[in-house]
Structure 1
Amino acid sequence: MASSLVLSGLVMTIFGLVVALSNLTTQTEAARAFFVFGDSLVDNGNNNYLATTARADSYPYGIDYPTRRPTGRFSNGLNIPDFLSKQLGAESTLPYLSPQLNGQRLLVGANFASAGIGILNDTGIQFVNIIRIFRQLEYFQEYQQRVTALVGAARAKQLVNQALVLITLGGNDFVNNYYLVPFSARSRQYSLPDYVKYLISEYRKILQKLYDLGARRVLVTGTGPLGCVPAELALRSRNGECSPELQRAASLFNPQLTQMLKGLNSQIGSDVFIGVNTQLMSNDFISNPRAYGFITSKVACCGQGPYNGIGLCTAASNLCPNRDVYAFWDPFHPSERANGIIVQQFMTGSTEYMYPMNLSTIMALDSWT
C-alpha cells in the first residue's frame, strides 16, 4: 500500500513537472517580442495620433475587427502583423504612439509603421506629417531605452535579439513618388532601372541600421503586384489588365531586393534577413481569385468609381456586403481574408515564397538556439 502511494505520488510529481515545463515552453514562445516597421500595409494605428490625411480611423475601416470599430489599420479587420502575432502566440502589438504602450505591454513589442512612408524621405510628402523610416528607427532606439529602464540592459538586449521583426517598404516609393504625377521629380532624375538601384542601395542602409540596433530575425517583404491594385486599374486600365509599367517596377525591384538580402546575410555570416515574396503571394489570388474563394481580385470592396479604385474608403463609398469574397478591401490594401492567406504563406511557403526559409522553420530553429 505504502509503495503504491509512493508510486502514485511520483507519477503526480512527474505529471506536475511535465505540465510546468509545458507552461514554461508556452510562456517562452509567447514571450518572443515582435517589432513592425513600414507603411500602411502594416500600420496598426500610429497615424491616428498624427495630423495627416493618411488615416484609417473612420467607418467603414475596422468593420470586421473584433470591436467593429476603426483602429487605424488599413483593413476591414486584421492586417498582416495581427496574423503574425497570432502565429507567435502573442497579442497584437500596439502602435508605438499609443499611450497604452507602457509597463509590461512594452515586452510584447511595438508597431512603428506609418501609412504613406517609403524608403526615401521624399516619398509621401503629400501626406505631410508621417513617421518616416529614419524616425521609426529613432523610436526603436527610444523603445529600447524604455525597456532597459523596465527590465535592465541585459534582458532588454535579449528581448530585442530574440524578437521577430517585420519591415514593409517600397510600394509607396513607386505609387506615391515616382509615378505619383506624370514627370515627377524622381522620374525626371532617374530612369526606372536606375531608380530601382537607388532604392535598393538606400534600403540596404536601413536594414544595416536595423541590424546595428539589435534585430536578428527580420522578415523583409517585397512589393506586391503594384499594377494590379484597384487604384491602378482605375487610373491606368482600359480592360482590367494590370498596368504594365507598375508591374515592370515590381519585377525589377523584387529580385534585386532578394539579391541585396543575400549579400547582407553573407556579409553578416547569418540568415538575419528573410525575403518575403509578397508579389508572388498576391499574384496567386489575383490571377486565380476563385481558387481562393474570392469572386473578384479587381474590384475593391470599399471605394468609388471604376473598380471602386478612386479616392478613399469612406462612409459615402460603395461597400460590399461580404468582405470575405473580395481580395482587396480598399483601392490599395488587401482584405482581412487576403491578409490571412498571405501570412499562411509566410508560415509554410516554399523558398519561392520565403527565402531562405519560412516562418515555421524560423520558429523551430529559434526555440532557442
Structure 2
Amino acid sequence: MMSGGNLSQYLAKSIAVMVFGSNDYINNYLLPSIYSSSYNYSPPDFANLLLNRYARQILALHSVGLRKFVVAGIGPLGCIPNQLATGQAPPGRCVDYVNQMLGTFNEGLRSLVNLLNGNHPGAIFVYGNTYGIFGDILNNPATYGKKILHFLN
C-alpha cells in the first residue's frame, strides 16, 4: 500500500481521461417517454446542469492530487445507430437536432477547460474535440487511408 506522500506523487504524474455526458443524453435526455429531463430542462439548461456536475467531479479529482486531465467533448450522437433507429432523420443523414443540442455542452466544456487552466497553475487540462474528430471521419472517410464502411448508407 502506498503512503499518502507516494500516492500524491503517483497521482501528480498520472493522466486522468474524463469522458462524461454521452450517456446522460442517450440514456436520459433523449428518452422522454422514460425520463422527464427533456421536459424539465431546455437543451442549454441540461448542458449547464451536466457541466456543473462535471466541474465538481474534476475539482474533486484535482483535490486528491491529479494534475493532468484530458477532458473529452461529446461526439455526434445524432449519427449513432441508437439515434438513427428512431427514424427522425432522412436516410443517409444524422439526426440534426440531437447534434445541434450538443453544441452548448461542448462549447461549455471547452470554456471550463480554459477556466480550469487559468485557475489551477501546475495542473494541465486539455479539451478533446471528439465531435470534430468523429464528424471529420464521417464526412471525409477517404482522408483516413481506407474506405470506412459508413453505417449511414
Normalising by structure 2, report the TM-score: 0.89
- Map 1:103-252 onto structure 2 (within 5 A): 147-148=1-2, 152-182=3-33, 184-235=35-86, 236-252=88-104
CA distance, structure 2, for counterparts of residue 271 and residue 212 of structure 1 = 11
Name the structure 2 match of 1:119. Answer: none
Greater helix proportion: 2
Aligned letter for 1:296?
Answer: L
Name the structure 2 match of 1:283. Answer: 135
Contact 2:89–2:96 under 8 Å retained in 1: no
Q: CA deviation at 1:208?
A: 0.6
Q: Deviations over 1:63-115 (max 9, x none)?
A: xxxxxxxxxxxxxxxxxxxxxxxxxxxxxxxxxxxxxxxxxxxxxxxxxxxxx
Name the structure 2 match of 1:144. Answer: none
**Bigger-Rg structure (1/2):** 1
Unaligned runs of 5+ in 1: 1-146, 300-306, 308-369
Unaligned runs of 5+ in 2: none
Name the structure 1 match of 2:112. Answer: 260
Aligned letter for 1:248?
Answer: Q
Aligned letter for 1:201?
Answer: N
Contact 1:233–1:240 under 8 Å retained in 2: no
Q: CA deviation at 1:256?
A: 0.8
Q: CA deviation at 1:220?
A: 0.6
Contact 1:160–1:215 under 8 Å retained in 2: yes
Aligned letter for 2:141?
Answer: P
Aligned letter for 2:90?
Answer: R
Normalising by structure 1, report the TM-score: 0.39
CA RMSD between the two structures: 1.8
- Higher RCO (CA 8 Å, separation ≥ 6 residues): 2
CA distance, structure 2, for counterparts of residue 266 and residue 167 of structure 1 = 19
Aligned length: 151
Name the structure 2 match of 1:296. Answer: 149
Name the structure 2 match of 1:273. Answer: 125
In percent, how many aligned pairs have the same letter?
A: 28
CA distance, structure 2, for counterparts of residue 153 and residue 207 of structure 1 = 20
CA distance, structure 2, for counterparts of residue 218 and residue 209 of structure 1 = 12
Change in CA separation of 1:245 and 1:182 when aligned onto 2, cut-off 3 Å: farther
CA distance, structure 2, for counterparts of residue 201 and residue 233 of structure 1 = 29
Contact 1:218–1:273 under 8 Å retained in 2: yes
